[in-house]
Amino acid sequence: MKNILRIGNASGFYGDRFDAVREMLTGGGLDVLTGDYLAELTMLILGRDQLKDPTAGYAKTFLRQMEEGLGLAHERGVRIVANAGGLNPAGLADALRTLAAKLGLPTRIAHVEGDRLPPRQGALTANAYLGGAGIAACLAAGADVVVTGRVTDAALVTGPAQWHFGWGPEAYDELAGAVVAGHVLECGTQATGGNYAFFAAHDPLAFRRPGFPVAELHADGSSVITKHPGTGGLVDVGTVTAQLLYETAGARYPGPDVTARLDSVRLTQEGPDRVRVEGVRGEAPPPALKVGLSRLGGFRNEVVFVLTGLDIEAKAALLQDQITDAFAKSAPSEVRWELARTDRPDAETEETASALLRLVVRDQDPEKVGRTVTGAAVELALASYPGFHVTAPPGKGAPYGVFEAEYVPAGEVPHTAVLPDGTRRELPVPPRAREPEPVPDPDLPPPLPEGPTRRAPLGRIAGARSGDKGGDANVGVWVRTEEEWRWLAHTLTVEKFRELLPETAPLKVARHLLPNLRALNFTITGILGEGVASQARFDPQAKALGEWLRSRHLDIPEALLPEAPAAALLPDVPEALPPEAPAAALPSDVPEVLQ
């Protein structure tokens, strides 16, 4: 067995770059190629697909990618591991066997199942998050391709690592290192410069088409995060830190294989586009598995009214009063208004002279979000504020989904590896378990000496990345120097966070310190309502919550601020950029909501 296991990733979500599988298989050496196709919203979409067609329920895009990918992987000796099986991994495995036979390839297909649990009342899907042991068993039995249902995103890496290095279930530090590497890889190009807070401080051409990430795993659980030579993007301590903070919370990161201690992670820039990850400690996994439940929450509709020019507030008030009157006889149970002042005074274009007033309604009765809303909006077309128009004709409304989580004892969930020859192997639960407890905050670093300050955006010195977990969100904030960390740790308290983001003021906000990463991680309970599928918020997945925080102004020590804005430090961008290959159209089977 080689001392290093090279694992690449070719998908961060269902609908990611279609050509990434080919790019990763041809762009450099790999032992394993992974793909993450599942998310909370995706499980709901697949559940609705399966209601229409019982043979559906998996990511069809993956099957199309394998039309070329199976042959390329066979030629190069690369194993493929993906959670594209969704709700029907057995169905996807059968489809892959048919494809391999058609292509004349001796590809050995295996799958992992057991995550899908008996229906809960009102739930469309119920899936437990499994670990990597089933994947390891399939690879050990000679599988060339392993497809799974709902495993943790990191299991796509912990499984191959357990197989390759022969780790037992109590190799906690090694497993925790693999979990951290898996978490960095799982969102694809977010680890290589995609959605990166400090992109403007680098050559803008590097970020036009980031390459996908690769982890070089070692037998002790340490790794190096990198990418294929010649691909776009950037791998540095900042890009890896950002992804480590994405959709995590405190120092303990529990999972079915191990609880990883994020406060033990050490990152070092080893060279260009090479970041070493080491020092990760692990603990026994929790005794219970997380179960994701998705259900239909009701029906929603949305209308965006355009308000142009003068008297924006008065126009909004008139319209809201008129709609309220129209709803008097049959009002939806939830009515939300949001005015976005995108207008500018004395604007040179009509669009920049306009604000947007967003109306969102919800109810269990589709008529109350459909005909009631459509009639109210359309009938005002000639009877409301001057300049009345909407961004799109009002629709009839649509169902929305809700994601919830519960926990069940690990022993109650079957974890089954279905090997290439059809043999079914039941995987035991880990021999030991430990209920994760909050880690006490470490001591704060010494505060910076007092000195002159300047009012400036937090993002002048701090990066951020934010994301969703059900109805909650997290915002990770990090800085790059020890001096900046000494200031950030004392300044960005929960109280200051609430002050900077007033939307969070009435909500539960928790702060977690990660000194090794020079980072703070904030979790905000309930800010996303019933989760992404319910679309309760303008930014339903909290993707830009961190960027809003970075844009907020506060008093920052002058010694920490760069002498000029980041944009002024950039080289001039050529007037004519070199042509780039046209982006491939999204496959027709990608769900519309993800496009």
Sorted by where each starts, the structural domains of the chain and their CATH numbers stand as 4-292+408-426 (no CATH), 296-402 (3.30.70), 453-561 (no CATH)
Distances (CA, A) of 100 to 91, 96, 113, 154, 200: 14, 6, 21, 27, 45
Place of tokens 């080919």: 22
Question: Alpha helix locations (H) across 396-481?
Answer: none
Selection from 127, 261, 165, 273 nearest residue 212 by Cα: 273
In whole angstroms, how far apart are CA 370 and each of 356, 377, 395, 402, 486?
21, 11, 7, 20, 53
d(C-alpha 402, C-alpha 519), whole Å: 31
Helix (H, G, I), strand (E, B) or coil at 476: strand
Q: Does pTM surpass 0.85?
A: yes
Chain centre to alpha carbon of residue 185: 11
User: What 3-state DSSP class applies to 190?
Assistant: helix
Whats the size of the chain, residue-wise?
595
CA dist 494 and 492 (Å) reads 7
Q: Say how far apart CA 146 and CA 158 lie, in whole Å.
A: 13
Helix H segments across 104-154? 133-140
The pLDDT of residue 120 is: 84
Residue 341 and residue 355: Cα distance in Å, rounded? 5
- pLDDT string in tens for the chain (595-residue length): 579 999 999 999 999 999 999 999 999 999 999 999 998 889 988 998 999 999 999 999 999 999 999 999 999 999 999 999 999 999 999 999 999 999 999 999 999 999 999 988 888 999 999 999 999 999 999 999 999 999 999 999 999 999 999 999 999 999 999 999 999 999 999 999 999 999 999 988 889 999 999 999 999 999 999 999 999 999 999 999 999 999 999 999 999 999 999 999 999 999 999 999 999 999 999 999 999 999 888 999 999 999 999 999 999 999 999 999 999 988 999 999 999 999 999 999 999 999 999 999 999 999 999 989 999 999 999 999 999 999 998 899 988 888 889 999 999 999 999 999 999 999 999 999 999 999 999 999 999 999 999 999 999 999 999 999 888 999 999 999 999 999 999 999 999 999 999 999 999 999 999 999 999 999 999 998 876 666 667 888 899 999 999 999 999 999 999 874 444 333 333 333 333 333 333 344 444 333 3
Contact 363, 399 (CB under 8 A): no
Measured CA to CA, the distance from residue 568 to residue 210 in angstroms comes to: 24
Q: Note whether 329 and 376 are within 8 A (CB).
A: no
Q: Label the pairing between strands 281-283 and 259-261.
A: antiparallel
Contact (CB, 8 A) for 343 and 385: no
- What span, in angstroms and rounded, lies between the C-alpha atoms of 204 and 570? 9
Cα–Cα distance measured from residue 423 to residue 134, given in angstroms and rounded to the nearest whole number: 13
Our separate counts of H helices and E strands in the chain read 14, 26
Distance of CA 363 to the CA centre of its chain: 28
